[in-house]
């Protein structure tokens, strides 16, 4: 019978590989977080610009004019349909 100490070599290298994996994962995570933060920042700037454009006086006037024009066209279509409806029967 052999008497001695058995050492599991995989457990010796496991500690080191886990720390390397952890460091790699943290670095990757940090880079990912920076990219996400950049994209969120750019999206916020675009949204902010869109909101300021939306609230500008020119934009409000243009929307009002477009709405009035749409109502005039709709009213014209209703009148036209009312005039030709009796002839279709």
Tens of pLDDT, residue by residue, the chain (89 residues):
556 555 555 555 544 555 777 777 777 777 888 889 999 999 999 998 888 777 788 888 888 999 999 999 988 888 888 888 777 76
Q: Is the sign of the CA dihedral 80, 81, 82, 84 positive or negative?
A: positive
Q: Strands (DSSP E) along the chain, which ranges?
A: none
What are the structural domain ranges in the chain?
A: 9-53, 56-89
71 phi, psi to nearest 5 deg: -65, -40
Read off the pTM.
Answer: 0.38
Tokens of 26: 């943290």
């Amino acid at each position: 019978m052999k008497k001695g100490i058995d050492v599991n070599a995989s457990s010796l290298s496991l500690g080191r590989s886990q720390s390397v994996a952890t460091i790699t994962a943290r670095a990757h995570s940090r880079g990912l977080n920076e990219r996400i933060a950049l994209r969120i920042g750019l999206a916020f700037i675009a949204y902010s610009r869109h909101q300021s454009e939306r609230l500008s006086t020119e934009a409000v006037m243009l929307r009002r004019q477009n709405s009035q024009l749409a109502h005039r066209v709709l009213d014209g279509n209703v009148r036209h349909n009312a005039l030709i409806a009796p002839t279709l029967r």
